[in-house]
Structure 1
Amino acid sequence: MSPAPPQVDARVAEATIRTVTLRLMPLLGLMYLIAYIDRQNISYAKLPMVGDLGLSESVYGLGASLFFLGYFLFEVPSNVILERVGARRWFARIMLTWGLITILLGFTQNTTMFYALRFLLGVAEAGFFPGVLFALTLWFPQSHRARMIGWFMIASALANAVGAAIGGALLDLDGTLGLKGWQWVFVATGLPALALAVIVLRILPDGPDQAPWLKPEGRDWLSRTLAAERESGGKVEHGNPFAALLDRRVWMLASVYIAFPLAAYGLSYWLPTVVRSFAVSNTLNGFINIIPWLITALALWWVPRRAARTGDQVWHVVVPGLVAALALVLSVVVPGSVLKFACLCVAAAGVFSAQPVFWSLPATFLKGASAAAGIAAINSVGNLGGFIAQNAVPFIRDQTGSNLAPMYFLAACLGLGASLMFWVLSALRRDAARRVAADAGAGLRVA
């Protein structure tokens, strides 16, 4: 069979990418929205929960951060299993278990139960975010991935917006049906995960070959394109996927990525404090918190599109990170709550919009199960930033007696991470060029 003319392939490609995007991304985005709300709901429930259970700030901080420890320990094995059993069954399992544990958090009785459930929530959710990143490599060519990751991560911004609004409203249900407001936060946010687990199990294909809504010519074009990319020079698939954990490129990316989750969870600490200074009700407080996440959603749409248009990857990761670090510093030095709030809006947009382009990079040098393990390793190490932030922030505040000092620490970490990101990404680009040249030379010698 002769290859299709370029203009035919272009039409098929455009139609196929559009179909996959419309069929896949809304579902994945909804899954992430629910996941992010279930991860963040503890920040909305904090104040009344701490008072009712008699938890100290340090006990709360450790319990909240144990999520990241469970996430860290089980993320790589979870992603390797996903690569073997398929996204449909594994995503449904993840959502079912995290929904059940979230509901159980609403009936927490003591410190030990709080610690255990937060750790188990991390175990349950481990592998979801990197699993989606890996699944996108099975559906989209490299040139489209950053934009798709941006669309996917918009759900995290919307989750912060929706979560802030419903978190405040649920707290105001205090006493309804005999449940306290903080209990409603956990029960009401856990139930959607259970419902969506059933939907995912029924309608999510494991890959293009199982998608009944793809036309044969579109499925053929996508299979050929993805296969050609997997076999392109410089990509590695280890015999044992866990060998990806020894790849120095994985650790280079993980070491600099840690600054971004650290700053993100710092934002979740400082933003409610600033908004609270507006002296409004819980419900109105939640609606004010929507503003920074709508701005973040816009940045997540614009930055990956601009990166794809210009072909530049490095600066579309580094610049947003540096802008966010500066905005964090300004948020504690400028006068007035409104200006502080505006700076935090910019910081949130910078922290999150740097990540779609970043997450398109591991699949440029890893493939198959090695890509699944490598992406999970980067994310699990990076998310230790959340563990660090949720312990360092209250510690620094207790030692200094200031709500401002922790933000200088977080801004410094983000500024350092973004600066080192320039060096790491430049080194990866040079390494990729060397490997492609070496593979081409080996091919010529064999010929």
Structure 2
Amino acid sequence: MQQPSVNAGLHASTMKRLNIKLIPFLMLLYMVAYIDKSNISVAALQMNAELGLTARMYGIGVGLFFLTYIIFEVPSSVILTRVGARRWIARIMITWGIVAAGMAFVQSANQLYGMRLLLGAAEAGFTPGIIYYLSQWYPRSDRAKAMSFFYIGAALASVIGLPLSGAFLHLDGYFGVSGWRWLFLLEGLPAVVLGIVVLRYLPDSPATTQWLHADQKEWLSQTIAAEQAATPISHHAGWSAAFRSRQVWLLSLFWLLQAFGTIGITLFLPLIVKSVSGQESFTVSALSALPFLFACIFMYFNGTHSDRRRERAWHLGLPLMIAGVLLASAVATNNSWLAYAMLVIAVGLNWAATPVFWATTTEYLSGAAAAASIALINSIANIAGLGLPPVMGWIKDATQSYDSALLMVAIALFAGGLLGLYVARTPRKISLEISGHEVRLEQVKAP
């Protein structure tokens, strides 16, 4: 990582500029994306009854999104590296916004399944594309913090989006349209507008931006280039290198286990809270938002502390291990409010590992191989999205409870935490020269 030998003032001013110009906009994009992907969890409070969906049928509808998402994730990310982030991210947003708004018009379970398949295909490549994009702008010394800000956008999507979605349900009956249909329509259209804004606002690289000074562009471009040259998988390696790397597959397994929490809990959280509390829809959506407020806080402090201490393994593994223990304890207790409190903290800790994970991943590889690896890792994690919701729905139908499903998630999180301690263990150091300054970098040593 960078040491004081680098011009600290230039470093600080450049990062400040990036944090002002890039991060809020990217957070907004991800917030809208996450709302459109997960608002079905609130819509289900009305939609399931109107369409005659069982918990298992709802789970299938949720999971089908991830089928096409997985299929198109790697190709979409590779295309992004060839045509540029600005154009490809804009294309993704416009198409997914159209499909997300179109969810308002489904009339049957089969139509729901079809629209979820289209939504997955449209959105594929967005998250890995943004993660890859951030790795082209932020040096390693600042990357976990930057990733935490980006993923705070997803958590804020739940903090803001869940109550907002709950409020849209109260439009039920306006102009003879169901509340859940208003929800899909009103939350899908902003993505189309933002996609058009991306074409005008988002620069492809530091060299093409108009809001960095010449010395900031030079320092940032040289620093990123030097770090990419030092990655274990070269910046010049082809995208297929991702599939031959043992480290990439270990990272993929970790992210799959972590996804049991982010996908399994998130997409069922309003239904779980309603089954425990018995509250009405808006209260349920508000209670379901609180865990994601904790997620914002935990992600920021865990990512920032990881950068400051230059340590990844404990910051990656320990939050997941504690989350698993808390979730299992929530299942075991008979006190519903204590169970809810432990669920809140478990969700927050599960998300806390996210920025550290992507910082660790992008320190290991760069270039087309990085884009393909990020997409591959994300695709494998989304296997949890494809298989877990139907299984959780089946468990709920069979047992009239989510307890066994949550215990399964708890075990996956604890196992993921143990793997995180291994996969992100202490890296070795190397030295490079950038414009006369010695820069010390950390290079991840593959297991």
TM-score, L = length of structure 1: 0.91
| Aligned residue in 1 for 2:374 | 375
1:234 to 228, 232, 254: 232
- The residue correspondences of 1:126-275 to structure 2 (distance < 5 A) are 126-232=124-230, 234-237=232-235, 239-268=237-266, 269-270=268-269, 272-275=271-274
Deviations, residues 297-345 of structure 1 (Å, cap 9, x unaligned): 1101100111111111000010000111011111112232221111011
- Is contact 2:290–2:344 with CA below 8 Å preserved after alignment? yes
Give the Cα–Cα distance (whole angstroms) in 1 for the partners of residues 7 and 313 of structure 2.
Answer: 30
399-408 vs 218-227, which moves further: 399-408
Q: Flag structure 1 segments of 5+ consecutive residues without an equivalent.
A: 1-5, 437-447
Offset of 1:233 from its aligned partner?
5.6
| Aligned residue in 2 for 1:42 | 40
Give the Cα–Cα distance (whole angstroms) in 2 for the partners of residues 275 and 248 of structure 1.
Answer: 42
Deviations, residues 122-158 of structure 1 (Å, cap 9, x unaligned): 1111111111110011111011111000010011111
- Is contact 2:299–2:355 with CA below 8 Å preserved after alignment? yes
Offset of 1:403 from its aligned partner?
2.3
| Aligned residue in 2 for 1:9 | 7
Give the Cα–Cα distance (whole angstroms) in 2 for the partners of residues 111 and 418 of structure 1.
Answer: 37
Provide closer, same or farther for how the CA distance between residues 233 and 363 of structure 1 changes in structure 2, counting only shifts above 3 A.
closer
Q: Give identity over the alignment, percent.
A: 37
Offset of 1:367 from its aligned partner?
1.3
Offset of 1:7 from its aligned partner?
7.5
Deviations, residues 79-137 of structure 1 (Å, cap 9, x unaligned): 11111111111111011011000111110022222111101111111111111110011
User: Do structure 1's residue 113 and structure 2's residue 111 form an aligned pair?
Assistant: yes
Amino acid at match of 2:283: L
Give the Cα–Cα distance (whole angstroms) in 1 for the partners of residues 271 and 366 of structure 2.
Answer: 41
User: Do structure 1's residue 363 and structure 2's residue 358 form an aligned pair?
Assistant: no
Offset of 1:58 from its aligned partner?
2.1
Deviations, residues 373-407 of structure 1 (Å, cap 9, x unaligned): 01110111012122222022122233434321111
Deviations, residues 154-200 of structure 1 (Å, cap 9, x unaligned): 11111011111011111111011221011011001101101111111
2:62 to 55, 61, 64: 64
Offset of 1:270 from its aligned partner?
4.3
- Is contact 2:78–2:368 with CA below 8 Å preserved after alignment? yes
Deviations, residues 416-441 of structure 1 (Å, cap 9, x unaligned): 12112222333xx56x679x9xxxxx
Aligned length: 427
User: Do structure 1's residue 32 and structure 2's residue 30 form an aligned pair?
Assistant: yes
Give the Cα–Cα distance (whole angstroms) in 2 for the partners of residues 279 and 239 of structure 1.
Answer: 54
Could you say what secondary structure the match of 1:214 adopts?
coil
User: Do structure 1's residue 420 and structure 2's residue 419 form an aligned pair?
Assistant: yes
Offset of 1:234 from its aligned partner?
2.8
| Aligned residue in 2 for 1:84 | 82
- The residue correspondences of 1:336-351 to structure 2 (distance < 5 A) are 336-351=335-350
User: Do structure 1's residue 289 and structure 2's residue 288 form an aligned pair?
Assistant: yes
Cα RMSD between the aligned structures?
1.9
TM-score, L = length of structure 2: 0.91
| Aligned residue in 1 for 2:391 | 392
Give the Cα–Cα distance (whole angstroms) in 2 for the partners of residues 155 and 15 of structure 1.
Answer: 23
Give the Cα–Cα distance (whole angstroms) in 2 for the partners of residues 258 and 8 of structure 1.
Answer: 37
| Aligned residue in 2 for 1:353 | 352
Provide closer, same or farther for how the CA distance between residues 297 and 364 of structure 1 changes in structure 2, counting only shifts above 3 A.
same
Offset of 1:278 from its aligned partner?
3.5
| Aligned residue in 2 for 1:54 | 52
- Is contact 1:143–1:308 with CA below 8 Å preserved after alignment? yes
Offset of 1:365 from its aligned partner?
2.4
| Structure with the higher helix share, 1 or 2 | 1
- Is contact 2:231–2:365 with CA below 8 Å preserved after alignment? no
394-403 vs 180-189, which moves further: 394-403
